[in-house]
Amino acid sequence: MASFSSLITPISQNPKILLTNSNHSNCSKAIPHGFPSLGFGFGVSQHGRSFKQMRRIVTSSINQNEALVGNSSIQTFDIPVLTSSDAIERLKANRENHKGKQQFLAMYSSIFGGITTDPAAMVIPIDDHMVHRGHGVFDTAAIMEGYLYELDQHVNRIIRSAGMAKITPAFDKETLRRILIQTASASKCRNGSLKYWLSVGPGDFQLSPSGCNQPTFYAVVFQDESPSSYSKGIKVITSSIPIKPPQFATTKSVNYLPNVLSKMEAEEQGAFAGIWLDNEGFVAEGPNMNVAFVTKQNELLMPNFDKILSGCTANRILTLAERLVSEGKLRGVRVGNVSVEEGKKNSTEMMLIGSGILVLPVIQWDDQIIGNGAEGSIAQALLNLIIEDMKSGPPSVRVPIPY
């Protein structure tokens, strides 16, 4: 680790830093080269020197640097102080000028106790601990042809995640459910996604949530207009980013930095996603999706959920896959430990499963071609089953949106 004094930047390299003494109006001096400061107006004594000796050194250094400060071009910025209406106008302009591939159609916020359809107003307080401490959990439900798919399953999971994160939900389950349905209704969206968050709420910038005045709940309906370019199968890699410990991997929290880095690592290598291995070397999951295989014994095989997130879509796939067993297309369905060797070389098919991708066939893992290197029939059959379930499944998985 670098020493404290080695972190001090000489004034010649950083002329913008000023030493200001609030007790003396004329005391704005450049920090002298090599003078260690705590950043709060206190010097650090070094090498046994007394503060009187240090003061003489500082005075001499300041005198030597006064000319430098006077002649250097200290960059200044004309930053306006905005009124609330000015800030709102700039938020609107920013949204207009930076439109991405997703449309934000409606947002509920317990902070203002209502729903907005203005994307510029879809903001949350900076002091919400979900923002600066990551103390929040979330979940997502798909909207298909005017129905919320597996809403209750996802709401149950976010409540379970909140309990593991020691977050008291802002509302009871039925109220959360009602808010989500009304937000989807206000969005007018018939095909899209509903993402929602529970947080310990705003209050301060401390680590502990003891100063938070109330838990918060947010929900956003959006449509993704990005065309899929992975219809013929994808490549994955083994992620070098450390997997989360089971306590955190099984909680759907907003702490997604490992997931983001894993996804970025894969994209940098021309792959779609990284595959995590658990601490015993068994196949775990992707950054935001589960993994499944079809073995050479014609079984659908998924890794155990004890150390990873139990995916709602993955669990639904396990149920729907029984239909393929009854039709003789699969020999069986099971969950268990999956070694890398078994996943790469003893599988005829590999696929990623999640609410955002449904069923996505994998044709290459690292340098290993999976099966015959083409999209498999079981992956396609499972995709057809989940789409059919989203469009015409039982009431237990489809909740109508009252537009």
Active site residues: 252
Q: Give burial (CB, 10 Å; 0-12/13-18/19+) of 121.
A: middle
CA-based max dimension of the chain: 90
210: helix, strand or coil: helix
Q: Give burial (CB, 10 Å; 0-12/13-18/19+) of 65.
A: buried
Q: How far is CA 153 from the centre of its chain?
A: 20
Note the helical H segments in 219-282.
246-249, 257-268
Residues 327, 62: Cα–Cα separation, whole Å:
85
Contact 360, 351 (CB under 8 A): yes
Residues 362, 233: Cα–Cα separation, whole Å:
5
Instruction: Name residue, tokens 């046994």.
Output: 48
Q: Give burial (CB, 10 Å; 0-12/13-18/19+) of 314.
A: buried
Q: In degrees to the nearest 10, what's the CA dihedral of 207, 212, 215, 221?
A: -70
Contact 237, 275 (CB under 8 A): yes
Contacts of 335 (CB under 8 A, 6+ apart): 301, 302, 303, 304, 305, 318
The alpha carbon dihedral of 250, 251, 254, 255 has a sign of negative
